[in-house]
Amino acid sequence: MKVLVIGGGGREHALVWSLSKSNKIKGIYCCPGNAGIAELAKCVDVAVDDFEALIDFAKYEWIECTIVGPEVPLARGIVDAFQREGLNIVGPQKRAAMLESSKSFAKDFLRSYKIPTAEYKVFSYHVHAKEYIRLKGAPIVVKADGLAAGKGVFVALTETEAFEAVDYIMNERAFGEAGDKVIIEECLFGKEASFMVFTDGNTVMPMVSSQDYKRIYENDKGPNTGGMGAYSPVHFITPEMEDTIMSTIMVPAIAGMKKEGINYKGVLYAGLMIKNGKPYVLEFNCRFGDPEAQAVLMRLDTDLLDIAMAINEERLHELEVKWKDGASVCVVLASKGYPGGYEAQKTITGLEDAAKEQDVMVFHSGTAFSGSSVVSSSGRVLCVGAYGADIHTAKLLAYRAIEKIQFDNKYFRRDIGKM
């Protein structure tokens, strides 16, 4: 079978790597891919939102299964577009992807189906948003309604910070039309975790738990990023907590979508805050997290293609998805300056040395070829993952591998997986 993966980051590298272990696949393609993915798949330089070109490519190459990594094509309806052409694609349709592409839709949905989440109000006029902030006081959370690559959320410790966030989103239009509306939300305190499920719209199958490090600096300081590292499993997501997450959040969410006439298929990701032993939804994503995918897929012990096909054919209940015991730790190597401005095109050395380490995988997030060299091409450059008997072992392996990789302005957090 020929498979196409859409995207070109660390998550897609992990998807391609996982698929490459399947003995049912005779060709893996990736659009657009990156320098690391190119070792396992044929990379084709087509943008993730150029649906016409992607569909032409899938038909021309007789692709039998397409898997979508990032949120932007899902939010723009890539699944609907492929399905209209009779092509097999795994992921939620545009209306289902609104759980991520519109935070106001997601919050209203959560409220309708009584799924625990922070108290909130949605505003399309900045003056009213600020009045509400004054009424509620700080700390308070300000969120852009639409997609903002993980950067549209501001946890404001003072009212002034909250006003500034509203201005940044609504008046300075930092995220364009994603800032037409803002959500002002109660600030929850607790422990955060990421929880993802596979679903075919009927069966909801949990993945192992993971945790993302969203802030740029150690000890969770500084602005939010797309994610600076992840590990799996999370010690406070006990089997009992997992049952609670499934029964109070994931299963009601998929059932709720069905009641709305939406058959949600693919991966559903919940960003959770566990407060006083109870899980609350901070956000939904309609796809694998990045870097959570890298951490979780390092522990997957079932053929990912089998899962993808079972989702599409709505027979996920027939499958037993297995996970490796032990733990994984993934550390993102970024360009210094990210999530603000940074320099790219830096030559990366030591990749082969690092990859030789046992139980280590160097996932490429933003790399490209410059002649025969591999260079950085975006804010998040690499994601070094390691698998071990426990978090401590995995962490040691990951950080040891990182030391072998060099590029100018390499920046990473040293506290990923620290308990």
Query: Which residues sit at the interface with ligand GLY, rule CB under 6 A?
Result: 150, 212, 226-227, 285, 289-290, 292
When binding is defined by CB under 6 A, the residue of 39, 64, 159, 192 that contacts ligand AMP is 192
Residue nearest ligand AMP, Cβ-based: 283
CA-to-CA dists, residue 319 to 35, 197, 328, angstroms: 33, 14, 24
When binding is defined by CB under 6 A, the residue of 197, 282, 381, 398 that contacts ligand AMP is 282
> Shortest Cβ distance from residue 33 to ligand AMP (Å)?
26
> Shortest Cβ distance from residue 225 to ligand GLY (Å)?
9
List the single partner that 290 binds among ligand AMP, ligand GLY, none, CB under 5 to 8 Å by kind. ligand GLY
What tokens were used for 228? Answer: 């600076």
Contact 311, 339 (CB under 8 A): no
Q: According to the binding rule CB under 6 A, does residue 185 interact with ligand AMP? A: yes
Contact 182, 142 (CB under 8 A): yes
Contact 409, 366 (CB under 8 A): no
Nearer to ligand AMP, 41 or 188 (CB): 188
Nearer to ligand GLY, 297 or 375 (CB): 297
| Measured distance CA(211)–CA(158) in Å, rounded | 27
List the single partner that 285 binds among ligand GLY, ligand AMP, none, CB under 5 to 8 Å by kind. ligand GLY
Phi, psi of 166 (to 5 degrees): -60, -45
What tokens were used for 31? Answer: 């659009």
What tokens were used for 386? Answer: 């390691």
35 closest CA partner among 369, 408, 322, 302:
369
Binding part of the chain for ligand AMP, among 122-130, 150-158, 310-318, 321-329 by CB under 6 A, reads 150-158
Q: Which residues contact 366 (CB under 8 A, 6 or more apart)?
A: 9, 34, 344, 376, 377, 378, 379, 380, 381
> Shortest Cβ distance from residue 155 to ligand AMP (Å)?
5
Q: According to the binding rule CB under 6 A, does residue 146 interact with ligand AMP? A: no
Nearer to ligand GLY, 104 or 210 (CB): 210
Q: According to the binding rule CB under 6 A, does residue 75 interact with ligand AMP? A: no
Q: According to the binding rule CB under 6 A, does residue 224 interact with ligand AMP? A: yes
- What residue type is 383 in one-letter code? C
